[in-house]
Every structure is written in C-alpha cells, then in structure tokens.
Amino acid sequence: MTLNQQRTRRTLWQTAAAIGLTALVSAVGMNQAWAQAAAWPSKPIKIVVTYPPGGLTDAVGRQFGQYLSGKLGVPVVIENKAGAGAVIGIDAVLKSPADGYTFGLTTTGTVFQNRVLFSKLPYNLDKDLAPVTMFPAGPLVVAINDKIPAKNMAEFISWAKTNNANMGSYAAGSYPHMVADQTNRSQGTKIQTAHYRGEAPMWLDLASGQIQIAVGSFNTFNAVSNKGARAIGVTGMYRSPKLPDVPTLVEQGVTGKLVTLDGALPLFAPTGTPQAILKRVADEAVAWSNTEQAAKMRETFAIPNKPKNLAETRRDFDDAAPVWIKTAVDLGIKLD
C-alpha cells in the first residue's frame, strides 16, 4: 500500500469516526430531551401574566392554570408581573430555564410590536420566544364617558377637536395607545394617552369622567357600562356577540390596518423548551377550550373563537407578526 493510499484510508476512518460521534451526540441529546419531556412535570409550573389582576389576560391565565394543574397533577402558580409595556414579565420568562416549568401569557402587541416600539429590549423576540398557543381576545370595546355628546367614533373625534380628551390605556404600547396615536395622526386631534396598570382602574376612571375614552375587553367594560361608560364601537372585523347593535370601527369608516386586527393572548415559553412539552400544553389549551368552564368564560368576555394547537399556532404567529409590526412601524411610536 502506497503512502498516499495509507493517508486516504486514515482520512476515511477519521471522517467515519467523526460522523459516528456526531450521530451519537445527536442521539444522546434527543434521548435526553425526550427523557426530560417524559419525566415532566415533577414540580410546580409557573405562568407569568404580564398584566395585573382584574383583566382578561389574568382571567384566562388563572382559569387555564387551574385546569392544567388538574390535568398534570402539579400546582400551576400564576404570577402577575406587570410593567414597562409587558417587558418586565416577558423578560422574566425568557430568562428562565427552558425546561417546561415557566410560561408567559401576554398580548399580541407586546410580542409583535414591542420589536419596533422599543429601540432596545433585554431579549430577542425573534429568537428567544417560543409560541405555544394564542387565546383569542374577541372584539375590544371602544367606550366613552356617558356625559360626552357623541354616539359614534366620528362624533367623538369632532368633540375631541374642541375639547380636552384622554384615552385610557392598560399599558404603554398597548392597543388603545396605538389607536389614540393613529387617530391623532389621521384626524388632527390631540388625544393624550393615560397609561394604567391594567384594565380595571382604567375603566373606573372612564366611568367617573377622569378620562374620556378607553378601549378594552368586554367583561371589564361591562362592570361600568351602566355607571357612566357607553360603548360607541368595537375593534376587529366583526361585532361583539354581547354588543350586536354596536358597529365596528371599520363599519363606521375608520381607516387604518390597526382597527381591523384581532388581538389575542399568546401563551409562550423560552426557546429551547422541549417540543413534546410545548405540544402537550397547547393540546391542553385546546382541550380546556372545549370545557363548560371555558365556554362560560368566553360568554362572559364575548369571545367567539378558541385557541389552536401548536402547529396551527405557529402558522398564525408567523402570518400575524409582519402585519402587527408594520402597523407599529407606520405609526412611528417609540417608547424609549
């Protein structure tokens, strides 16, 4: 055997050994991941809700958490971690171990639009976040203080051009914050945005006249609907099942992609969480949505739709992200 043949043979053996080692490492890694998923859960699970108690996000988190605990046989702890446009809560989740014991629940705007609303975030939403499912939020209610002489959005805008007007927002960069900014840009109004830590205090201030207009979930609005707040529209492409006589903003001629979007509550985990665990939690969300408890909650909050499984959620997530992001880019809002 020549020297060149010996070298070629040695190289082939080394290459084969390297391929075998790589395959072995990959197989071991996969086996470890599946073993981890198979042993899961062996301790309490935490769901970080990025808003305070009292709103739709908190209600969904607590009811789904209770169901999940019963199905998995371990406690599911709800931790409300609000502030900084949900950045604080999302950061806490994404900095947690990707082991299936920490999940987050937030709103679509915070996982899509925060990418451009903030110049710098402590995490990368494109790389660090793994979507699990999205709980539909239903049409949001646009309501004004009952003393304002307006019956629809156009009349409110006319009133706001000659009067001081404040839009209630449940977080910086939230949907109502964006609606106020879009209205100012397109209609020449000077509506100021008043940020609250969640929906409950926002609706109370609307009813008392501290602010003049607000946007939020039906159930929380409904608590003050006969105490000084009146609905003049809803967001999205269809009317609220609880307010069939209140037209959408689209029906009222309000332009702009923002008012056509359907908000949702994404449930997410840190990237790297075993796929088997993500799929199990998404499947449990779908199963929970078919329970009597979930049906009653959707009825209370006027939500006609249900969450989807992991594969469908990923498709919806990828389709929705560019639309929400472009809307924020077009408005040009910066929160830092």
Among 209, 241, 260, give the residue marking a domain's end. Answer: 260
User: Looking at the domain assignment, is residue 27 inside a domain?
Assistant: no
Give the pLDDT band (50/70/90) at residue 119. confident
CATH number at residue 158: 3.40.190.10
Using the predicted structure, report yes or no on whether residue 288 has a pLDDT greater than 70. Answer: yes
User: Looking at the domain assignment, is residue 20 inside a domain?
Assistant: no
Q: Return the pLDDT at 263.
A: 86
Q: Return the pLDDT at 6.
A: 52
Statement to judge: residues 203 and 176 lie in one domain: yes
| Structural domains of the chain, count | 2
Burial degree of 30 (CB within 10 A; 0-12, 13-18, 19+): exposed
Q: Return the pLDDT at 24.
A: 47
Among 239, 260, 281, give the residue marking a domain's end. Answer: 260
Q: Which range (152-161, 176-185, 222-231) has the least confidence?
A: 176-185
Statement to judge: residues 172 and 231 lie in one domain: yes
pLDDT digits (tens, 9 = 90+) for 127-166: 999 999 999 999 999 999 999 999 999 999 999 999 999 9
Chain-wide mean pLDDT for the chain?
A: 89
**Looking up tokens 């990237």, which residue turns up?**
271
The CA radius of gyration of the chain, in Å to the nearest whole number, is: 24
User: Looking at the domain assignment, is residue 110 inside a domain?
Assistant: yes
Statement to judge: residues 255 and 285 lie in one domain: no
User: Looking at the domain assignment, is residue 102 inside a domain?
Assistant: yes
Output b/e per residue, 52-85; b: 16+ Cβ within 10 A: bebbbbbbbbbbbbebbbeebebebebebbbebb
Statement to judge: residues 118 and 168 lie in one domain: no
User: Looking at the domain assignment, is residue 19 inside a domain?
Assistant: no
CATH number at residue 96: 3.40.190.150
pLDDT digits (tens, 9 = 90+) for 61-82: 999 999 999 999 999 999 999 9
Statement to judge: residues 308 and 268 lie in one domain: yes
pLDDT digits (tens, 9 = 90+) for 38-67: 689 999 999 999 999 988 999 999 999 999
3-state secondary structure of 304: coil
Statement to judge: residues 271 and 131 lie in one domain: yes
User: Looking at the domain assignment, is residue 5 inside a domain?
Assistant: no
Statement to judge: residues 169 and 255 lie in one domain: yes
Among 241, 260, 279, give the residue marking a domain's end. Answer: 260
3-state secondary structure of 308: coil
Length of the chain: 336
Statement to judge: residues 69 and 151 lie in one domain: no
Q: How many CB atoms lie within 10 A of CB 128?
A: 19
Using the predicted structure, report yes or no on whether residue 20 has a pLDDT greater than 90. Answer: no
Domain of 251, in residue numbers: 141-260
User: Looking at the domain assignment, is residue 31 inside a domain?
Assistant: no
Statement to judge: residues 205 and 268 lie in one domain: no
Q: Return the pLDDT at 35.
A: 54
User: Looking at the domain assignment, is residue 22 inside a domain?
Assistant: no
Statement to judge: residues 154 and 299 lie in one domain: no
The verdict on whether omega for the bond into residue 75 sits within 30 degrees of 0, i.e. cis, is: no
Q: Which range (14-28, 165-179, 212-226, 314-328) has the least confidence?
A: 14-28
Statement to judge: residues 256 and 268 lie in one domain: no
Residues 6+ apart with CB under 8 A from 206: 143, 144, 145, 168, 212, 213, 214, 224, 228, 229
Statement to judge: residues 125 and 148 lie in one domain: no
Give the pLDDT band (50/70/90) at residue 96. very high
